[in-house]
Amino acid sequence: MRRQAHGRPRSLTLMALLAIALTPACGDRSTSDSGELIPLLREVARAQVGTSYQAMRRRMQRDPDADATTTIVVERVFHRAPTESDANERHLVEMVELQSGNQPRVWSDDSFQQLRLTHRLRSNFIERYRELRIGSPEQILANYDIEVQRDGQLLGRDVLRLELASKRRGEESGLGRGIYQLWIDASTKQPLRTREYSLETGERLLVAESELTSLEALPADAAIEWPKLDFEREPLGDSELPEFLAGRKVGFPPAVPGFEKQRRETLREPGAGAFLLHLCSDGLEPLLFLQGLPENPARLESQEGGESRGLQELEILEVEFGRSIALTTTYDGVSTYVIAKGDSRTLHEIFEQFFHF
């Protein structure tokens, strides 16, 4: 397979498929006892899904490249927990301010309003894939060293600080390898601040931070126009193949140390494309494999299977966003994406194993 020069995300659909030095608390002992950590992590996971709230949030992303370009976004966030009448979480994220680079970018009013609209439409992606989500506590304990300490207050609330350091953090290559910190409300267990560090330069580098600067409960009768869900989802068994991929070459995720399969499902973008998603995770960081048709499958039913080329002739586009890398190519008329945090060489190896038909 041939690698192609790095690029930027080419469309909203690609973006939708794709998506911190501390002062120890005096006198407070840290804990890393698994008997205490598993219930705590479960409470955090439940709070992330089951707490309805409205908040202001300041988010920072630093490019790990040499220029260390920093982007700061101020957002208004609304989250509604699943209800009896709607089993889906609902998210609304509205951009209020944006600063990119060392100097504030001057946006025209029209350009900024268009950017805000795109941001709003991507609310579900932002909350589901970009913000740190707690997965299986047992899997997290298998892959991360964890310490918990009391650490003062945020927003007038007593907080606990969790540090989750990947057990692969000393390795020169591989997926994950990051260090995360969460400040959670000691009472409700809702995260108030998260930070992400990279060790890929040999030093502990803050690459992302997300902090709530105000927080209150979302009224049950709040009149909010929630964005449409980004995809219609349907679970699939391990051996099932969606009809839009019938007769085409479909890859299967290889075994990746520390990562386990979470779910396999179809994603249909209303009026647009359809994809098969294999989602793997190490408990915190996702590894996504997507294969599908970026256009409406009905428009492609009468077409041939696409250009057939040998695997060695494929061109692979590599897109970097923060610490994440997305690799994409098209084979047999099917677009394929593999997305994860890690080094480029490892992800290319996983990508090629995925194509082991």
For residue 19, pLDDT over 80 is answered with: no
Higher pLDDT, 123 or 66: 123
User: C-alpha distances in angstroms, 53 versus 47, 157, 190, 193, 211?
Assistant: 11, 15, 10, 15, 14
Count of the separate structural domains present in the chain = 1
Residue 199 pLDDT grade (very low, low, confident, very high; cuts 50, 70, 90):
confident
Q: Which of 49-63, 123-137, 197-211, 275-289 has the lowest mean pLDDT?
A: 123-137
Q: Which of 262, 211, 218, 186 is nearest to 92 (CA)?
A: 218
**Which positions ≥6 away from 110 have C-beta within 8 Å?**
none
Domain assignment of residue 306, yes or no:
yes
Domain assignment of residue 335, yes or no:
yes
Domain assignment of residue 302, yes or no:
yes
Domain assignment of residue 238, yes or no:
yes
Domain assignment of residue 137, yes or no:
no
Segment 200-209 shows an average pLDDT of 82
Domain assignment of residue 76, yes or no:
no
**Which positions ≥6 away from 309 have C-beta within 8 Å?**
331
Full-model pTM = 0.81
For residue 11, pLDDT over 50 is answered with: no
* pLDDT tens per residue, range 305-331: 334 344 455 678 888 776 788 899 888
| Residue 296: domain span | 232-354
**Which positions ≥6 away from 167 have C-beta within 8 Å?**
143, 144, 145, 258
Q: Which of 22-31, 248-257, 345-354 has the lowest mean pLDDT?
A: 22-31
CATH number at residue 322: 3.30.200.100
Residue 298 pLDDT grade (very low, low, confident, very high; cuts 50, 70, 90):
very low
pLDDT for residue 8: 43
For residue 79, pLDDT over 50 is answered with: yes
User: C-alpha distances in angstroms, 124 versus 187, 196, 302, 312?
Assistant: 27, 21, 33, 36
Residue 105 pLDDT grade (very low, low, confident, very high; cuts 50, 70, 90):
low
Higher pLDDT, 263 or 172: 263
pLDDT for residue 175: 87
Higher pLDDT, 69 or 238: 238
Domain assignment of residue 116, yes or no:
no
Domain assignment of residue 122, yes or no:
no
